[in-house]
Amino acid sequence: MFAIVDIETTGGSAAQSAITEVAVLLHNGKEVEDRFSTLINPESIIPHYITALTGIDNAMVRNAPTFAEIAPTLFQLLQDRIFIAHNVNFDHSFLHYQFKQADLLFQPRKLCTVRYAKKLVPGLASYSLGNLCRSLGIPIEDRHRAAGDATATTLLFEHLLAIDEDKKVLQEMTKGRNPHSYLPMHVPAEVIENLPYSPGVYYFRDKKGKVVYVGKAVNLKFRVKSHFTNNAAGRRRQEMLRNIHSIEYTTCATELMAIVLESIEIKRLWPLYNRSQKRYEATYGLYSMQDRAGRIRLLVDKKKKVMPALHTFSNPEEGYKLVSSLAASLELNTEWVFGRYHPEEVLPDDLNERMQQLINGLTGYLPDFALVERGEDVVGNTRYVIYQVVKGTFKGMGCTEQPPENWEAVNGLVTAYPENEFIRNTIFSALAKGGGMVMEPG
């Protein structure tokens, strides 16, 4: 028993938009048994561009029932039926959200006619409802209205049922909680089935192949599935799901490696739907120079290409904090350190000597080391992940079959990556927790 559904809405987000029309055709697998269709008052203004697309305006829905008023009737119609729609997760997300507001739990088995058509009629240029019906010679009338599109979807479903003679594809796509029921319509189920149960970084790509989201996982299969199996109705999530056309991944030997690689990739690719770690980070440096009187002073400024920095920071406050800590241990006024002298002040005779001690003291704060972490590849072979830090700055990462024997070996095994504050703090945190073997120069 099937319920073939189409809705019209005020926008693309179930949580921030509303339904303006719904149509349901009840089907027994051979023919339509009953129909239900109604306009719905969204209790909000219908945008002009929606009216231009659907023809539904504010005057048409003014006296229509609200969703809360039709919810019990609609819920009863859909009970114990497989929920069918063209791009089923879009229609389901709205109805699930609206039923939830009415204290009704809506969790049907689902069938997407986009995915069903891709299985049975592969190789078409487009699987949009209009283009698909045109390719298959299926009439479609009253486009972008719920009853018209639901009728066309029903004719499409009947056409696909005739091709699927033994109904094996139908049974595969509607049994239990299988990938066909929750994946975005463009993503093959095989992608999820082939994901490993290992740490790694995954990439969601749009129809042009551009990476739109990067994530890290302790378990790639579980984490990627979680994006599609929850019922979050936010606009950003719904938009991202519609834009996912393919999924790729890189396995990692450890969770820490996945965390570091994710950060590197977010900075490199700047994906549309990533929010964390995309804050702009200007790179600042700590510099040593002499004033006209020959006194050594320090300067925190934007990184300079022609002058080597004693240390680099993601923001100037980080530099001032480090210098202030060192200055206090040497009884140095930070005003002196940065060359802000007052005429009446008596400066210590050994100011330069103490300033040099401060600069030398950076070595203890800015260590050279490699953190070597033991992990496993996707088939269980031992791998060693190396994170190299030079003068307190992340320099690179590598993964090898054998641990490095010395510092020179480390230099040859790591790939250089851009430094950022998140990676640096993550590695220092792992170091403090005793997350692996530590190697130092010499």
Residues 113 and 72 both lie in one domain: yes
Average the pLDDT over 310-335 and give the result. Answer: 84
Rounded to an integer, the average pLDDT of 365-378 is: 90
Return the pLDDT at 46.
Answer: 95
Q: Are residues 390 and 309 in the same domain?
A: no
Query: 306 and 250 share a domain?
Result: no
Q: How many domains does the chain have?
A: 4
- Residue 399 pLDDT class (50, 70, 90 cuts): very high
Q: In the prediction, which pLDDT does 116 show?
A: 94
My answer on whether 48 and 113 are in the same domain is: yes
Q: Are residues 306 and 206 located together in one domain of the fold?
A: no
Q: Is residue 275 part of a domain?
A: no
pLDDT band at 360 (very low <50, low <70, confident <90, very high): confident
Alpha-carbon gap, residue 32 to 154, rounded angstroms: 8
Between these two residues, 307 and 409, which has the higher pLDDT value? 409
The string of pLDDT tens digits covering residues 74-117 is 999 999 999 999 999 899 999 999 999 999 999 899 999 999 99
Is 92 designated active site?
no
The residue-averaged pLDDT of 386-407 equals 93
Query: Residues 305, 169: one domain?
Result: no
Query: Residue 384: which pLDDT band, with cuts at 50, 70 and 90?
Result: very high
| Any domain includes 277 | no
Catalytic residue among 27, 48, 92, 144: 144
pLDDT tens per residue across span 32-47: 999 999 999 999 999 9
The radius of gyration computed from the CA coordinates of the chain, to the nearest angstrom, equals 31
Which pLDDT does position 282 carry in this prediction? 57
Predicted local distance difference test score (pLDDT) of residue 232: 61
What single-letter amino acid sits at 435?
G
The pLDDT mean for the chain works out to 90
Q: Residue 322 has what pLDDT?
A: 83
Q: Which of 301, 293, 307, 308 is nearest to 339 (CA)?
A: 293
- Boundary-marking domain end, from 340, 365, 390: 365
Do 41 and 109 fall within a single domain?
yes
Domain termination site, one of 223, 239, 269: 269
| Whether residue 383 has pLDDT greater than 90 | yes
Considering the domain boundaries, does residue 57 fall inside one?
yes
Given this model, what pLDDT does residue 240 score? 85
Residues 38 and 159 in one domain: yes
Tell me: do 104 and 209 sit in the same domain: no
pLDDT of residue 179: 77
Return the pLDDT at 113. 95
Q: Which residues of 150-173 are buried (b: 16+ CB within 10 A; e: fewer)?
A: bbbbbbbbbbbbeebeeeebbeeb
> What predicted TM-score, i.e. pTM, was given to this entire model?
0.70
Query: Quick one: pLDDT at residue 279?
Result: 66
Does any domain span residue 217? yes
Which CATH number characterizes residue 62's domain?
Answer: 3.30.420.10
Question: pLDDT of 166-196, one tens digit each?
Answer: 999 999 899 877 777 778 888 888 888 889 9
For the ranges 198-212, 221-235, 272-286, the one whose mean pLDDT is highest: 198-212
Amino acid 280: pLDDT:
54
Query: What share of the chain has pLDDT > 70, as a percent?
Result: 97
What CATH number corresponds to the domain at position 202? 3.40.1440.10
User: Residue 279: inside a domain, yes or no?
Assistant: no
For the stretch 347-359, pLDDT in tens is 888 889 989 989 8
Per-residue model confidence as pLDDT tens digits over 330-345: 888 888 899 888 877 8
- Which pLDDT band, with edges at 50, 70 and 90, does 278 fall under? low
Which structural domain range is residue 374 located in?
369-439
The pLDDT score that the predictor gives to residue 233 is 62
